[in-house]
Amino acid sequence: MLTDLTEAELWDHRSTQTDPEGLEAFWARTLTEARAAGGEVRTTPVETCLRAVEVHDVVFPGFAGEPVRAWLRLPAPALRGTGRLPVVVEYVGYGGGRGAPEESLLWASAGFAHLHMDTRGQGSGWSRGATPDSGPAGPQVPGVMTRGIASPETYYYRRLFTDAARAVDAARTLEAVDPERVAVVGTSQGGGAAIAAAALVPDVAALAAKVPFLCDFPRAITITDDAPFSEVARYLATHRDQVDAVLDVLAHFDGVNLARRGRAPARFSAALMDSIVPPSTVFGAFHAYGGPKEMAVWPFNGHEGGGVDDDVAMVAFVREHLGVPAA
């Protein structure tokens, strides 16, 4: 059944979320500090059973210069020609990590360089991770949604979104990559991180956000009982005196506020039977987005969105905007 507004209502819906004071300065300082921390991008070839895809283990400097892992997947040398490749930087959904080198082969198989960023402190839910989180301990609901939520400075997503932006920086240094042709993509939490990356590194060439999570927190935490948004509601049910302060912290990381700063051509998708990411929260970010945009709506799907049809459409969208001919 529908979990939110009708499709007609969604096209008219606008989020009431507003920028917190000092949002631009907060993110400018965060990225300046991360880049000033230095650190090297290191790549190591990985032996796999694959023959059409070459894999490298990547370590790059993320938040505060801390090492973040990723896989770099490339079409095998015989399949990629001699020029530099357009690159897709992909972010992972909630609870997952970068997985195994033999997983997630779509982008490299379609002819792109694929930098698949690990998710700090997660990667034990449905796919493996290899990057620890350095964040401070404190009262929190299990999960990461309330980790460090007392301040924008300590909130978990400050670190993750900085990693996402620095992954773009890292991709541009790779020998096989054309630094002018970078797309950022992701599903669910990965879609929210992609929106953040497109806002924080606004000269990327394309954004694709499939059923993106982390948008319109004030609405989301009051209209769905499903995790992960419910982690915040559970926290506030106990910390009753912190509602206004928590909402202010979350506004620094809200996909609606960050979407206003995106400029690259963008493709969003929303599913009308999604109880995990209510479609009105996706439409809130979509309508706020500051660049050219399109929306795919899946009327009878839940949080899987359009499944493989969504994925194939994302490949076509990224090809168009990175100047890659169809196969």
Chain centroid to Cα 133, Å, comes to: 17
Under 8 Å between Cβ of 252 and 184: no
Q: Retrieve residue 256's tokens.
A: 């609606």
Rounded Cα distance between 233 and 242, Å, is: 11
Contact 58, 86 (CB under 8 A): no
Please, are residues 114 and 72 in contact by the beta-carbon 8 Å criterion?
yes
* Spatial distance between the Cα atoms of 104 and 85, rounded to a whole number of angstroms: 18
Among the options 133, 274, 310, 311, which is catalytic?
274
59 vs 287: CA distance, rounded Å: 35
Expressed in angstroms, the distance from the first to the final Cα of the chain is 38
Given the residues 127, 188, 230, 280, select the one marked as catalytic.
188
Has 188 been annotated as catalytic?
Answer: yes
Pair 117, 92: CB distance under 8 Å? yes
Q: Within a 13 Å sphere around the CA of 36, how many CA atoms are in the beta-carbon half?
A: 6
Asked whether the beta carbons of 313 and 268 are under 8 A apart, the reply is no
Sign of the C-alpha dihedral computed for residues 214, 215, 217 and 220 taken in this order:
negative
Question: Is 56 annotated as catalytic?
Answer: no
Q: Does the annotation mark 274 as catalytic?
A: yes
Residues 13, 116, 287, 303: which is the catalytic one?
Answer: 303
135 closest CA partner among 126, 144, 127: 144
Phi and psi torsions of 14, nearest 5°: -130, 135
Positions marked active-site: 188, 274, 303
